[in-house]
Structure 1
């Protein structure tokens, strides 16, 4: 067996609530291989987004290990986790998180430049593949929701990250646009050899990924 790209080991996470500590994740273990696509499903409040944030080093587990390429990133301080995200992880959220003052081209290049991995030819190819070739001089406010999501996907992939984390990446799009965006994302992930962990409420979209795990009340279930 090859070493997993991402190995989540017995992850536990609680948050304070009015009635005391609330266990959001209760002993979750998941592995993801390089080049694998994994759908994470579950009802609202089941811990999906929390698990995704822990996987990306955006937060730390109370206990358990978040091992990315053999390194437990949950043990790193904030600055070190930020470096890991910049160099090795691509994040895609529903909110897009584009920089309003930057053009499409500059938004796509932003993370890759921060990582010292900007490849203008690769970024241009991503833009063309995602139907953004004629929009590079525009700004986010001049784009549709689907176009903005394509920019966010291009930005996440432009640094050729080892791991792509996507939280409901088509949740704000109509079904046809969402299907098109997911097809492009899966094609590009396959070509770059990255691993993809995607949170989705949609069983239909989950079926398009290579594997699926389901969270229920903070635990893995059927």
Structure 2
């Protein structure tokens, strides 16, 4: 459902253009999962931002179900972010003024796809039923990340983008949260593109690739 072809992206600096992505090719089938690895500064987060429509590539193509993402208006890209993807960040990015229940439903309400039975199921599976009236600052890191995962999946998006989703957690919490995320992504019927620095975490996804010097260097299926 996601095809990236010959993608290039650079950023302006005082010393001139800084190339970050230099011809990235990547394929992700519907319902499958892929771990994107690479050293710091290799362009992993930049690639996620381009797929999310948060930035635009210099050249190359991003295709979603065969339709190009590049060239879409800002309004169309905003609609893609509301309806087409779920985002999970390392730092959670929950809305501090909303309680857990409202944070969980936030993305689904924006997408006009808030199914209460699915939301209730996510709440139970993520162990959040007793925390619905709490606010983010009253939660542990692991609990906040569970809320973030539930929010990302509440609208059953075709694609979930996760940027180091367990990077702020200890190893035990990281394993538990990733297990839940992988199970629920599968149940939602979503595809998953996950950035991680951990080979151990990456090994749990169906595909793995390494981004080095702006290019995909190798891929293990």
TM-score under structure 1 length normalisation: 0.96
3-state SS of the aligned residue for 1:172? coil
Match of 1:192 among 188, 192, 195: 188
Residue 149 of structure 2 corresponds to 153
* In structure 1, distance between residues paired with 2:181 and 2:124: 13
1:74 paired with 2:92, answer no
Looking at structure 1, the residues matched to 189 and 112 of structure 2 have their Cα atoms a distance apart, in angstroms, of 20
Paired position in structure 2 for 1:136:
132
SS at the partner of 2:70? helix
The equivalent residue for 1:65 is 61
Shift of 1:97: 1.1
Which residue number corresponds to residue 25 of structure 2? 29
Partners in 2 of 1:105 and 1:70 — Cα distance?
A: 35
CA distance in 2, matches of 1:18, 1:154: 41
Paired position in structure 2 for 1:164: 160
Find the residue that maps to 2:35 and give its secondary structure.
strand
Q: Partners of 1:78 and 1:92 in 2: how far apart?
A: 22
The alpha carbon displacement at 1:18 in A equals 2.5
Q: Which among 47, 50, 56 is matched to residue 51 of structure 1?
A: 47
Quote the offset at 1:55 in angstroms. 1.1
RMSD: 0.8
Deviation at 1:40, TM superposition (A): 0.1
Name segments (4+ residues, structure 1) moved above 6 Å: none
SS at match of 2:14: coil
SS at match of 2:124: helix
Structure 2 CA distance for aligned equivalents of residues 71 and 81 of structure 1: 13
* Residue segments in structure 2 that go unaligned for 5+ positions in a row: none
Structure 2 length normalisation: TM-score? 0.97
**Farther-moved stretch of structure 1 (93-102 vs 34-43):** 93-102
